[in-house]
Structure 1
Amino acid sequence: MTRVYVTRCLPEDSARLLQKDGINVVMRSTDDAIPRQELLDNIPGCDALICMLTDKVDKDVLDAAGKHDTKLNHLTSPSLKVIATVSVGFDHIDLDECKKRNIVVSNTPRVSTDAVAELTVALLLATSRRLMECANAVKNGDWKSWGLLWMCGTELRGSTVGIFGLGRIGIAIATRLQCFGVKQFYYTDIVEVPQVEIEDLLKSCDFIIINCALTPETAGLFNEKAFAKMKNNCVLVNAARGGVINQKDLYQALVSGAIKGAGLDVTDPEPMAKDDPLLTLNNCVVLPHIGSNTMETRTEMASLAVNNVLAVLDGKPLLTPVPR
């Protein structure tokens, strides 16, 4: 019987798709991240793995997949055929090792575009208009009266917005921001031919939105040198990958006034430690990686991952293979 292992509980509609004759589904009943050892213990003998962004699928996991019986002391031929991650990102999966083993890998692109774009705009507004700081002022009893200059933020009207990585989500963000009266958009990418050079984007924009993948080229790209080139009234928003920003350098930039504020939906590591210095700053809004957190999007993502697995088990190609 074909064995499918799922590292978290799926939405009911998505899970129902796996209920087919000949498929033995082993799915965790909780929505918390699977402990490393639990994944290693359950992957042996699986034909398919449905995993999440938090699940590191490396050589050790793939080696363990070859153990059809945990009581055996040797590796047998691995049965794992397909890994489907319920995420757009796939940097948690060792693609080179998968290729060596002829394991195909899929992700869930395009599905989360609208949800992430909406969240990014919301985070930009929350940061630029100081919404979290204002809400806390009300809760703490600091709201004494109406003030002419109290809690003044920055508006989008007439501003220049830079989007670093103009893919599907970047375009969706720009489309939504147009109605706010943005004067000019700059965009660039380190892979495609840029509209502007990265340095021009850093120096010219009032708002910068990071929307690129985490790669060796982008890791830590927003660091002390980058912040020094940005305008001191600039608001930086990251809803892509935490590793693109050097968070120690970001803290110094925010404290020193090198930039005005930052809104983060992603951090490195995740979850962020509760004593992280960034959490002490009023000009930094941190969210718990909720870019695609709508029931509609998460259900559609899970269903796409399941359908990728079913396609491979039926001898068909992946619906959405990861870029190689």
Structure 2
Amino acid sequence: MFNAIIRFCGTDVSRNTIGIIGMGEIGRTYARFMHRGFNCRILYTGPREKPNDVDAEFVDLETLLRTSDVVSIHSPLNEATTCMLNASCFALMQPHAVLINTARGGIVDQEALAHALASGQIAAAALDVTVPEPLPLDHRLYDLPNCIVVPHIGSATVATRHRMVDRAVENLIAGFISAILPYPVPTR
């Protein structure tokens, strides 16, 4: 009886090891939130070690994949990151690991991900970004019960949209009066 009930229980994120690929502003914000809010251990990887204003440990990609309970992608898409997470990466991950991609769809080899999910190589994936966007309705990822695909609508809440409008208006006003933009778009 207990096993039948436990099957419907989720997993707690508290005290997990969170692996962050890409420690820019979004990655650091996520790291702070997960460390302070859920007492998680934070690992991160990227092209170089960052000043540590977050309690996080810089590691190589292989260590991050082998050690993390959750792998969250926050990298830009470029030559070095295209299909960076592929079959060999999924083979390194723990069977209970979860992959989250809110960055760019092209960073993940989606066919390799579908295989890893279907075979139980990793536990689950949540994708806010795919290639293409949206995925065709007959794409294999939609059929997997351990994959959630929300094609670039993860930020579609009323409060988030209000903040986006407010910030855009503040930038417009600053631009019209030749002031410094309060929310500049990074140029790198």
Q: Which TM bucket (shorter chain)?
A: 0.7 to 0.9
* Distance change in 2, residues 1:310/1:175 (3 Å): closer
**Which digits, 9 at most, give the CA deviation of each residue in 1:284-322, with x for residues without a partner?**
1111322332334323333444554565566x3772143
Runs of 4+ displaced beyond 4 Å: 191-194, 306-314
* Distance change in 2, residues 1:166/1:148 (3 Å): same
Select which of 231, 247, 256 maps to 2:94: 231
Matched, 1:180 2:38: yes
Matched, 1:155 2:12: yes
**Which digits, 9 at most, give the CA deviation of each residue in 1:190-241, with x for residues without a partner?**
2555811111101111111111222222121111121111112211111111
* Distance change in 2, residues 1:195/1:307 (3 Å): same
Matched, 1:215 2:111: no
CA distance in 2: counterparts of 1:311 and 1:215, whole angstroms = 32
CA distance in 1: counterparts of 2:32 and 2:169, whole angstroms = 31
CA distance in 1: counterparts of 2:39 and 2:5, whole angstroms = 24
Contact 2:45 2:61 in 1 (8 A): yes
CA distance in 2: counterparts of 1:313 and 1:157, whole angstroms = 46
TM-score (norm 1): 0.49
Which residue type is aligned with residue 226 of structure 1? C
The residue number in structure 1 matching 2:21 is: 164
Moved more, 163-172 or 292-301: 292-301
CA distance in 1: counterparts of 2:126 and 2:30, whole angstroms = 15
Residue 147 of structure 1 aligns to a residue whose secondary structure is: helix
Identify which of structures 1 and 2 has the higher relative contact order when contacts are C-alpha pairs closer than 8 Å and 6+ apart. Answer: 1
The residue number in structure 1 matching 2:162 is: 299
Segments of 5+ residues of structure 2 without an aligned counterpart are 51-56
Select which of 184, 190, 212 maps to 2:47: 190
Q: Deviation at 1:243?
A: 1.4
Answer with 1 or 2: which has the greater Rg.
1
Residue 125 of structure 2 aligns to a residue whose secondary structure is: strand
Matched, 1:264 2:121: no
Q: Deviation at 1:177?
A: 2.5
Contact 2:49 2:58 in 1 (8 A): no
Matched, 1:284 2:147: yes
* Distance change in 2, residues 1:146/1:205 (3 Å): closer
TM-score (norm 2): 0.80
Which residue type is aligned with residue 287 of structure 1? V
Contact 2:67 2:93 in 1 (8 A): yes
CA distance in 2: counterparts of 1:313 and 1:251, whole angstroms = 48
**Which digits, 9 at most, give the CA deviation of each residue in 1:102-128, with x for residues without a partner?**
xxxxxxxxxxxxxxxxxxxxxxxxxxx
Residue 13 of structure 2 aligns to a residue whose secondary structure is: coil
Residue 62 of structure 2 aligns to a residue whose secondary structure is: helix
* Distance change in 2, residues 1:191/1:301 (3 Å): farther
CA distance in 1: counterparts of 2:11 and 2:169, whole angstroms = 43
CA distance in 2: counterparts of 1:247 and 1:231, whole angstroms = 18
The residue number in structure 2 matching 1:323 is: 187
Alignment of 1:1-80 (within 5 A): none
Q: Deviation at 1:156?
A: 2.0
